[in-house]
A and B are shown apart, each in its own frame.
Chain A
Amino acid sequence: DGGITQSPKYLFRKEGQNVTLSCEQNLNHDAMYWYRQDPGQGLRLIYYSQIVNDFQKGDIAEGYSVSREKKESFPLTVTSAQKNPTAFYLCASSAAGTSGLYSYEQYFGPGTRLTVT
């Protein structure tokens, strides 16, 4: 079955620790995205990648880092510099490449709920 997997579903960390959230897709999509969701707010873009070994900051990239070494994988690291890391994190992918000519659906993973205390 094709899809996007995120692990773990729930993650607990102590303040000051870095934590990495996993995102894997087998849809052969070029583009991948990380979003953060907080209660009462729309999804906000953290980082996105249109192609392997390239990624761009979104609206709220401060305190986060990513890598895209493989097409299938786009891990997100929440660093200790992120002031309010407790949130629900969603990964998504789409067929969009670098042309920017068309709109595409995005396919979402099940999410990881991160709690930092």
Chain B
Amino acid sequence: KNEVEQSPQNLTAQEGEFITINCSYSVGISALHWLQQHPGGGIVSLFMLSSGKKKHGRLIATINIQEKHSSLHITASHPRDSAVYICAVTIYPPNTGNQFYFGTGTSLTVIP
């Protein structure tokens, strides 16, 4: 049983399209993280949020604590957005070590 589920697993979009990736979790959380993994393998943190909504450039992350659901939106998608997007949570109460629980990722390909 995975505490964090993502959908879809794979997503192909045309350049310019609006993209949504979903994340559901089954545990109480202190924070939810959206991460981006490029083909080379390195991972960068996009957002950490515990309520509401955050925006950075063309990326928007929202979270609904009552429904235990988060979405990552990409507006005006571009081929450089092609990557694996990973949802992760830290549980509540935060355990020592700040451990993450990861979803399996959504592989996004944006076609020119």
Report which A residues bind B (CB closer than 8 A). Answer: 31, 40-45, 48, 50, 56, 58, 88, 90, 92, 94, 96, 98-111, 113
Contacts and interface: CB of A to CB of B under 8 A. Distances in A.
Mostly helix, strand, loop or mixed at chain A's interface? loop
A102 B98 CA distance: 8
Contact of B102 (A31, A43, A105): A43
7 contacts: A42-B2, A48-B99, A88-B41, A100-B95, A100-B97, A110-B40, A110-B41
B36 to A, nearest CB: 10
A50 B98 CA distance: 9
A103 B48 contact: yes
B23 to A, nearest CB: 12
Mostly helix, strand, loop or mixed at chain B's interface? loop
B90 to A, nearest CB: 4
A67 to B, nearest CB: 17
Closest 4 CB pairs of A and B: A96-B98, A103-B31, A42-B102, A100-B96
Contacts of A98: 96
Nearest to B91: A103
Nearest to B90: A103
B4 interface: yes
Given A103-B48, A105-B33, A105-B48, A50 B43 contact: no
Contacts of A96: 97-98
Contacts of B90: 103
Contacts of A111: 41-42
A11 to B, nearest CB: 13
